[in-house]
């Protein structure tokens, strides 16, 4: 039997097993045993076997354990099924760390065992038995003949595991494209709102007299069935104001990708006019600002995140410029927000709060937005530090009107952002500035007074998300 040559030039023996069939068969057996070994995990296993060039039972065991098992409680079931399939017990499993660190390497043994020595864990990588691949309900197999030992496993963390904890400001363009793939698994939801329309519902509180009489015509005028209806609900509008100034530019790129995913799911996956829209997703409006306000909702209909970011850079001439948050909010309130777009909407403001304009303008416009919006969430990457305090004039003026303040500085922190967006609005009492921070904070919220610097005694605890409003009771 002759050998074959694969695409990378490596000589592959003719008897080398098919990793796709092997992964599918092992996944089917584990799925029959109750593990969530779906097609996605089988695909990851096949990719790991190809990348690691696995050729022994030990390497197969390590790749399957890293790609299929997602919880420590699944290890016992995995080991039982693996032993039944291949008839071997992989030695040294308990000695390996359960959570290998990125880049960790297990060096090969200095004195490998002789080729003729039997080793249950280093048997040659077998092909998946046809019976297991065809019917996972009866997993039974035995290992192939024992061959020579090979070097031990080099553990390399996946790209996804490295990205989830990286700060958005440290991502390269290639890593930013990989981040878009992870963001597609996120679901952006906002609280629903009551509409003026009704829908049929068996346990509805209102009597549907018209449908009741129409049904009574079928029974000779006797209303045997009482039809009811309930108020129809729909997701609130999500309005995003993203700061694209120089200090926020790395975070703006990542969070605009998140909004791109949200808008695509809202439009039924196409993002084109006239396409069916998923009613369970929020309608998303995206604006950017630095020294001026730019509407980017149409740019989110691009085919790829890279094209979307390129169109956003062309549409926003002030990209990576200065910061005038108050002036941008005033333009939004005058043209869009107060006129209808902001009424009852969930507002997401992405900015670090570094205002180069008058903080009094920002405080006044946040007060206007607070009166019409359902909920205001502020994403500030600087709040990731436990020592952060909103003492800068711009953030100090906007802080009293925020329902939640989150960091959203990396992929893991997006959970706090999504939780803050879908949380219902609490009771919204009138904002009263505490007397211990007056008059500086009061001047920041009142445009009729000058905006001096906030004194150093103005320190507020930062919570993510903020549990309640800043009121006189604090």
Instruction: Tell me what pLDDT residue 429 has.
Output: 57
Classify residue 297 as exposed, middle or buried by CB count within 10 Å of its CB (0-12, 13-18, 19+).
middle
133-147, 196-210, 295-309, 421-435, range with the lowest pLDDT: 133-147
Number of domains in the chain: 3
Q: Are residues 355 and 331 in the same domain?
A: yes
Q: Are residues 396 and 422 in the same domain?
A: yes
Instruction: Tell me what pLDDT residue 383 has.
Output: 92
298 is a domain residue: yes
Strand partners of residue 410: 167
- Given its phi and psi angles, is residue 472 left (phi above 0), alpha (psi -120 to 50 degrees) or beta? alpha
In this prediction, residues 194-203 reach a mean pLDDT of 88
Q: Are residues 266 and 203 in the same domain?
A: no
Q: Are residues 230 and 246 in the same domain?
A: no
Q: What are phi and psi of 35, to 5 degrees?
A: -85, 145
Classify residue 10 as exposed, middle or buried by CB count within 10 Å of its CB (0-12, 13-18, 19+).
exposed
Q: Are residues 375 and 272 in the same domain?
A: yes
Q: Are residues 208 and 284 in the same domain?
A: no
Q: Are residues 120 and 211 in the same domain?
A: no
Q: What is the residue-averaged pLDDT of the chain?
A: 74
185 is a domain residue: no
Q: Are residues 227 and 244 in the same domain?
A: no
Q: What is the pTM of this model?
A: 0.57
In this prediction, residues 347-365 reach a mean pLDDT of 92
Structure tokens at 124: 């040659």
Q: Are residues 365 and 416 in the same domain?
A: yes
Q: Are residues 257 and 146 in the same domain?
A: no
In this prediction, residues 324-341 reach a mean pLDDT of 92
Does residue 331 surpass a pLDDT of 90?
yes
The angle that helices 325-332 and 359-372 make with each other, rounded to 10 degrees, is 30
420 is a domain residue: yes
Q: Which residues contact 405 (CB under 8 A, 6 or more apart)?
A: 377, 378, 379, 380, 383, 399, 462, 463, 464, 465, 466
Distances in Å between the Cα of 213 and the Cα atoms of 203, 216, 227 are 18, 5, 9
In this prediction, residues 442-461 reach a mean pLDDT of 37
Better pLDDT: 445 or 171: 171
Q: Which residues contact 442 (CB under 8 A, 6 or more apart)?
A: 433, 449
Instruction: Tell me what pLDDT residue 471 has.
Output: 35
Confidence of residue 159 (pLDDT cuts 50, 70, 90): low
Q: Please say whether the beta carbons of 347 and 405 come within 8 A.
A: no
Q: What are phi and psi of 9, to 5 degrees?
A: 90, -5
Q: Are residues 211 and 243 in the same domain?
A: no
Q: Please say whether the beta carbons of 241 and 251 come within 8 A.
A: no
Q: Are residues 264 and 386 in the same domain?
A: yes
Structure tokens at 366: 């946040």
Confidence of residue 332 (pLDDT cuts 50, 70, 90): very high
Domain range holding 113?
13-157
Residue 5 gets which letter from DSSP? E
Confidence of residue 313 (pLDDT cuts 50, 70, 90): confident
In this prediction, residues 238-249 reach a mean pLDDT of 92
Segment 97-129, tens digit of pLDDT: 444 444 444 444 444 444 444 444 445 565 554
């Amino acid at each position: 039997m002759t050998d074959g040559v694969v695409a990378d030039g490596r000589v592959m023996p003719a008897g080398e097993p098919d990793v796709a069939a092997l992964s599918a068969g092992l996944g089917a057996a584990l799925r029959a045993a109750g593990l969530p070994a779906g097609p996605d995990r089988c695909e990851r296993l096949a990719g790991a076997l190809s990348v690691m060039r696995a050729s022994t039972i030990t390497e197969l065991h390590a790749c399957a354990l890293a790609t299929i098992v997602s919880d420590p409680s699944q290890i016992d079931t995995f080991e039982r099924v693996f032993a039944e399939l291949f008839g071997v017990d992989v030695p040294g499993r308990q000695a390996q760390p359960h959570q290998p660190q990125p880049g960790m390497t297990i060096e090969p043994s200095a004195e490998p065992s002789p080729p003729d020595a039997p080793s249950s864990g280093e048997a040659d990588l077998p092909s998946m038995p046809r019976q297991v691949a065809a019917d996972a309900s009866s997993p039974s197999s035995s290992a192939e003949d024992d061959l020579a030992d090979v070097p031990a496993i080099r553990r390399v963390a996946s790209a996804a595991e490295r990205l989830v904890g990286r700060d958005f400001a440290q991502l390269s363009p290639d890593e930013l494209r990989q981040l878009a793939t992870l963001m597609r698994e996120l679901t952006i939801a906002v609280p629903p709102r009551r509409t003026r329309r009704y829908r049929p519902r068996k346990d509805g509180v209102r009597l549907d007299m018209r449908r009741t009489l129409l049904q009574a015509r079928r029974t000779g005028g006797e209303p045997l069935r009482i039809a009811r209806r309930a108020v129809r609900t729909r997701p609130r509008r999500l309005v995003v104001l993203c700061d694209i100034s120089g200090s926020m530019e790395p975070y703006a790129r990542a969070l605009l990708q998140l909004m791109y995913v949200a808008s695509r799911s809202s439009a039924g996956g196409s993002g084109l006019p006239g396409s069916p829209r998923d009613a369970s997703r929020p309608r998303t409006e995206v604006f950017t600002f630095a020294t001026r306000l730019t509407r980017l909702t149409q740019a989110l209909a691009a085919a790829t995140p890279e094209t979307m970011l390129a169109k956003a850079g062309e549409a926003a001439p002030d990209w990576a410029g200065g910061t005038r948050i108050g002036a941008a909010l005033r333009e939004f309130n005058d043209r869009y927000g107060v006129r209808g777009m902001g009424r009852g909407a969930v507002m997401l403001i992405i900015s670090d709060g570094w205002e180069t304009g008058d903080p009094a303008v920002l405080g006044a416009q946040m007060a206007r937005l607070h009166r019409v919006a359902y909920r205001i969430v502020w994403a500030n990457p600087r709040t990731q530090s436990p020592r952060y305090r909103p003492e800068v004039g711009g953030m100090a003026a906007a802080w009293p009107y925020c329902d939640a303040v989150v960091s959203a500085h990396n992929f893991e922190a997006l959970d706090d952002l999504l939780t803050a967006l879908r949380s219902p609005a609490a009771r919204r009492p009138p904002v009263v500035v505490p007397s211990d921070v007056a008059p500086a904070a009061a001047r920041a919220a009142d445009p009729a007074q000058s905006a001096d610097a906030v004194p150093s005694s103005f320190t507020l605890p930062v919570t993510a998300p903020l549990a309640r409003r800043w009121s006189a009771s604090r």
